[in-house]
Amino acid sequence: MIHKRDSGLSMAVGFVMILMIIAMIIGMWAVIGVPEQIRDAEEYHAIGVTNAFLDYKIAVDNQRLNGWVGSNISMLIPAASAYADGALFMKEDVGMLRVYIGGTENSTYNISRLYATFGTTNTLVGYEGGGVFRNDYGYAAWVTPPSITMETAGDDLYVTLIVPEMQGSFAVGSSEGIPVDTGLLSVPTQVLPPTNQTVVVTFTADDPWDASVWNTFFYEKAILYQNMGVNIMSDKPSINTTSLTIYPSVVGYIYLNVINPEYIVDVRRY
């Protein structure tokens, strides 16, 4: 009889231990496995959102290149993920681009931003200044940067800067994709007079991370065109400002054109 009681006690203890082991496994999975799955899903979703904004850039560039003034494009931005709702924002005047000639301010251009947040909202993907960026926890990089091109002809330098300006302001949350309409209003081009003075392009941002990512753009362009023989340099005088300085040759001139396409952006109305 004593032997049977011991046997029953052993079975009970064993059963409890099995339950404890199962509980530990479930707990470890909840602490380690679930967050990892969520991170993997959010990373995969971020790639999808980034691709959507790259498609958006191609679409609005085609509007400008083909002169489709008055036309609208409709794009679906998949802001929401499988684990959380997302949001789409359109903000005007997140930064200011200024052009100085010989130290005197010549023209200014407002920079706007269309971007999506999702998951924990620590990741932003969006379109700004003609480029597509991704920002993770305040660390941003260009997926494809804005556009500035330079060509030399003898001693002269021809510079073309494309600065899209987007009108609109909204913040829309969704558990699905968010359709956005973008219409091309006009494509004004400012042709500055030839100058043999220094040309400085500065960008001042509301957010320090935004100035940093534009500084990367200016720096990479400076390296590219220095290798082509252009006298050019980048600088970041403050956390909110960055600049690109272009020097003329001794006997040459700088010819600067600024293409400033204007768009109206809105969430599609049903």
pLDDT tens, position by position, 81-91: 666 678 899 99
Output the pTM of the full model.
0.84
**Low-confidence residues of the chain, pLDDT below 70?**
1-42, 81-84, 119-121, 269-270
| Whole-number pLDDT of residue 262 | 97
Cα-Cα-Cα-Cα dihedral sign, residues 61, 66, 67, 68: negative
Nearest to residue 260, comparing CAs of 186, 182, 171? Answer: 186
Q: What is the pLDDT of residues 92-126, one digit of tens each?
A: 999 999 999 999 999 999 999 999 987 666 789 99
C-alpha separations of 84 from 89, 138, 257 in Å: 17, 20, 44
